[in-house]
């Protein structure tokens, strides 16, 4: 995904205290694990082990580490006929089910606020790849609803 390299500049990673939004044992472990790395050198083993940690990253950390997750996902797209865990959880992060009862939608809007328009295009391009992969849209159920959720969250990002 050349677009990822074009639109996500190589920047310094967020400080350890800013990798997650709150303090708990799980988030502290994530912060400790991610802190030594930038998106450019985040090891594949860390991404694979933390495929489900995207939702715990702060807005700045999500924007910073997203290109590493996208690159990994594109090179590890499927396990047999199902999406890899990283692909699956990227889709869940970008296209969640409506969960307005617990503030999660507001959290997602806030995390997307740190992305530029061009980075949003890269996220859409990733979703296009998922859509084009035989069997993957069906794996996620109503794919058009998922895409509509991403577009709605993207359009309203930053509005908490």
Residue 83 predicted with pLDDT over 90: no
Is position 160 within any domain?
Answer: no
Is position 31 within any domain?
Answer: yes
Is position 121 within any domain?
Answer: yes
What is the token pair recorded at 145? 């609803």
pTM: predicted TM-score of the whole model, two decimal places: 0.91
What is the extent of the structural domain holding 146? 2-155
Cα 18 versus chain centre, distance: 17
Report the candidate in 150, 60, 159 with the shortest Cα–Cα distance to residue 109: 159
Is position 104 within any domain?
Answer: yes
- What pLDDT does 22 receive? 85
Contact 109, 157 (CB under 8 A): yes
Rounded to an integer, the average pLDDT of 61-68 is: 95
Give the whole-angstrom CA distance, residue 126 versus residue 61.
19
- What pLDDT does 150 receive? 92
How many separate domains does the chain show? 1
- Helices 104-112 and 143-155 sit at what angle, rounded to 10 degrees? 70
């Amino acid at each position: 995904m050349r677009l990822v390299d074009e639109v996500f500049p190589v920047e310094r990673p967020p400080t350890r205290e800013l990798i997650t939004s709150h303090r708990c044992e799980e988030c502290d472990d994530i912060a400790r694990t991610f802190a030594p790395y930038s998106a450019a050198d985040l090891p594949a083993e860390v991404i694979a082990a933390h495929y489900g940690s995207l939702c715990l990253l702060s807005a700045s950390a999500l924007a910073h580490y997203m290109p590493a997750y996208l690159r990994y996902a594109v090179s590890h797209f499927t396990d047999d006929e199902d999406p890899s865990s990283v692909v699956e959880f990227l889709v869940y992060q970008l296209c969640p089910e409506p969960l307005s009862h617990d503030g999660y939608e507001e959290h997602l809007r806030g995390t997307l606020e740190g992305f530029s328009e061009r980075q949003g295009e890269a996220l859409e391009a990733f979703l296009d790849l998922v859509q084009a992969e035989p069997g993957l849209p069906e794996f996620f159920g109503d794919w058009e609803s998922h895409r509509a959720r991403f577009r709605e969250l993207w359009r309203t990002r930053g509005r908490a």
